[in-house]
A and B are shown apart, each in its own frame.
Chain A
């Protein structure tokens, strides 16, 4: 157990040093949420008081973009240069290994969410936000997005494929999760797709916590996103077992 924890912690530390805390990533983590906030704000054409209504969307997108591609790219990169095999050879369970690999991305994604929150704090009053709901929601969106990144990483073999495949999931997700258009305003045949996306539930939780305009019961939202996290993790583990230890 102790040895497993030492391995887990050091994999997280190594990934932080080697990938996540590199200057380009830190600057991306800062610029990206600022750009999204600015874009939403200019588009709305209103005053600072509307920032809380933009906040759930910006948080969700920052986390989604900060996690999916990073994990997909780093795992694919390590798989490509065979250093991932070194990890597979370590006497730790596959669950421990993948938890370690995903923890860095979850942490990085969660930190990305803090940037728009700090911006909002500086520009307007957000004292009414229910942080006890926002923080677990940010964490769960980061977990779901990271596990989606893991799912992508297992499905591709080249780094550029990881990027392309990430976008294949991310862009439809942004448009279908209720960020830009309410789900009820989408064509009937697209609505079931919206409810098959983890981000839909994450965004709904954030809306509920920030503006009180959630469309589903928060309990259902939490249940759904936890379900997606678990399913994506175990599907990825099964795929790793099938494809990488063959």
Chain B
């Protein structure tokens, strides 16, 4: 699904964020973060709930004011004047926010009108988008009656009706069925192929790995790391990983494990779970035997292919399945 980053005619980043900070009373939601978004790329912004993703997006799109720092969009300083670049951006929020009492077609036309598109232009564009997103048959039905997947697709269509240079996608695949999520991912790729730069936040690390060119990990308001997917995965290439579950407390013998198996790295994520990494094949029999000698039975052991989830864990210190759980919780609450 991934593709080459389109070559930009302009070396200047499309978005440049420098030392951005946002506080709410005593809480620093976004803490002095800096990053750039290059023309033509899909930039992933990953982090658990409360990490500062949404606050950052709200500042970038002009719905929130930073306490300090600067935001430049297409070379324009938008820190004090967010309206300066709003015509260049499209926003697809995590919850569909179109008008339930209007039809799909009318919603798209209205969104086009908000950006000053002429009647002929917005009718033509709305029809084209409805066709592209497979919603032509539902065009004259009220948005309120759409399924979640259809709502998400129409919300994306509404976000791009004015052909924005930059599209902000907040959790585009959360809360929709597998087939719709797949379609949405294809649409994101296709949009990017046609030249739209995309800022993507997601709880699904595999989505970010599949779609993004660069990823930034944000934890507790700070950026832990920003790099290309390739560079992030590089240290894991050639690594062997095994996930072990046991019936006793592995934490009690963590030191003995490390000293007895010096060529393995043990990451004990909970008293009963650990992750074993090595640069060569892992000899499970030795580990099982060692644990048994210390009164701990192995209940499950499975090989794991190193992925962006492992990168996330190693950089943020947060279990990757926490993000999945948050996404599932959100899906259930919708």
Residues of chain A whose beta carbon lies under 8 Å from any beta carbon of chain B: 2-4, 6-7, 9-11, 14, 17-18, 81-83, 85-93, 245-246
Main SS of chain A's interface residues?
Answer: helix
Q: Judge whether A85 and B97 touch: CB under 8 Å.
A: yes
Residue of B nearest to A84 (CB): B97
Q: Judge whether B116 and A18 touch: CB under 8 Å.
A: no
Chain B 55-88, CB within 8 Å of chain A: the 1/0 string? 0000001111100000000000000001100110
A-chain residues with CB within 8 Å of residue B87 when the two chains form the complex = 91
Known: A4-B116, A18-B101, A245-B63. A10 touches B91 (CB 8 A): no
Known: A18-B102, A82-B97. A87 touches B65 (CB 8 A): no
Q: Judge whether B116 and A3 touch: CB under 8 Å.
A: yes
Residues from 92 to 132 in B contacting A, C-beta threshold 8 Å:
93, 95, 97-102, 110-111, 113-118
A-B contact pairs, 22 of them (CB 8 A): A6-B116, A10-B110, A10-B114, A11-B114, A14-B110, A18-B99, A81-B97, A82-B93, A83-B97, A85-B63, A86-B97, A86-B98, A86-B114, A88-B62, A88-B63, A89-B62, A89-B91, A90-B114, A91-B83, A91-B116, A245-B65, A246-B64
* Min distance, Cβ B230 to any Cβ of chain A, angstroms: 33
* Min distance, Cβ A8 to any Cβ of chain B, angstroms: 9
* Min distance, Cβ B103 to any Cβ of chain A, angstroms: 11
Residue of B nearest to A94 (CB): B83
- How many contacts between A and B, using CB within 8 angstroms? 68
Interface centre among A14, A81, A83, A91 (most CB of B within 10 A): A91
CA distance A85 to B82 in the complex (A): 14
Q: Judge whether B111 and A14 touch: CB under 8 Å.
A: no
Main SS of chain B's interface residues?
Answer: loop
Q: Judge whether B114 and A87 touch: CB under 8 Å.
A: yes
B-chain residues with CB within 8 Å of residue A3 when the two chains form the complex = 115-116
A-chain residues with CB within 8 Å of residue B93 when the two chains form the complex = 82, 85
Residue of A nearest to B97 (CB): A82
Q: Judge whether B63 and A6 touch: CB under 8 Å.
A: no
Q: Judge whether A7 and B114 touch: CB under 8 Å.
A: yes
* Min distance, Cβ A242 to any Cβ of chain B, angstroms: 10
B-chain residues with CB within 8 Å of residue A92 when the two chains form the complex = 83, 114
CA distance A118 to B34 in the complex (A): 64
Q: Judge whether A245 and B62 touch: CB under 8 Å.
A: yes
Residue in contact with A86 in the complex, picked from B65, B111, B117, CB distance below 8 Å = B111
B-chain residues with CB within 8 Å of residue A2 when the two chains form the complex = 116
Q: Judge whether A7 and B115 touch: CB under 8 Å.
A: yes
* Min distance, Cβ B178 to any Cβ of chain A, angstroms: 26
Residue of A nearest to B102 (CB): A18
Known: A89-B86, A91-B115. 14 other contacts (CB 8 A): A2-B116, A7-B115, A7-B116, A10-B110, A18-B99, A82-B93, A85-B93, A85-B97, A86-B97, A86-B98, A89-B61, A89-B91, A91-B86, A91-B116
Q: Judge whether A14 and B83 touch: CB under 8 Å.
A: no
* Min distance, Cβ A165 to any Cβ of chain B, angstroms: 24
B-chain residues with CB within 8 Å of residue A14 when the two chains form the complex = 99, 102, 110
Give the top 7 A-B pairs by smallest Cβ distance, nearest first: A3-B116, A10-B113, A90-B114, A82-B97, A91-B87, A91-B86, A83-B97
Interface centre among B61, B100, B113, B118 (most CB of A within 10 A): B113
Q: Judge whether A90 and B118 touch: CB under 8 Å.
A: no
B-chain residues with CB within 8 Å of residue A81 when the two chains form the complex = 97, 100
CA distance A53 to B10 in the complex (A): 72
* Min distance, Cβ A143 to any Cβ of chain B, angstroms: 24
CA distance A245 to B78 in the complex (A): 14
Q: Judge whether A7 and B113 touch: CB under 8 Å.
A: yes
CA distance A88 to B97 in the complex (A): 12
* Min distance, Cβ B123 to any Cβ of chain A, angstroms: 13
B-chain residues with CB within 8 Å of residue A18 when the two chains form the complex = 99, 101-102
* Min distance, Cβ A83 to any Cβ of chain B, angstroms: 5
Interface centre among A17, A81, A87, A90 (most CB of B within 10 A): A90
Residue of B nearest to A90 (CB): B114
A-chain residues with CB within 8 Å of residue B99 when the two chains form the complex = 14, 18, 83
B-chain residues with CB within 8 Å of residue A11 when the two chains form the complex = 113-114
B-chain residues with CB within 8 Å of residue A86 when the two chains form the complex = 97-98, 111, 114, 158
* Min distance, Cβ A149 to any Cβ of chain B, angstroms: 20
A-chain residues with CB within 8 Å of residue B98 when the two chains form the complex = 83, 86
A-chain residues with CB within 8 Å of residue B115 when the two chains form the complex = 3, 7, 90-91
* Min distance, Cβ B117 to any Cβ of chain A, angstroms: 7
A-chain residues with CB within 8 Å of residue B62 when the two chains form the complex = 88-89, 245
* Min distance, Cβ B141 to any Cβ of chain A, angstroms: 16
Residue of B nearest to A2 (CB): B116
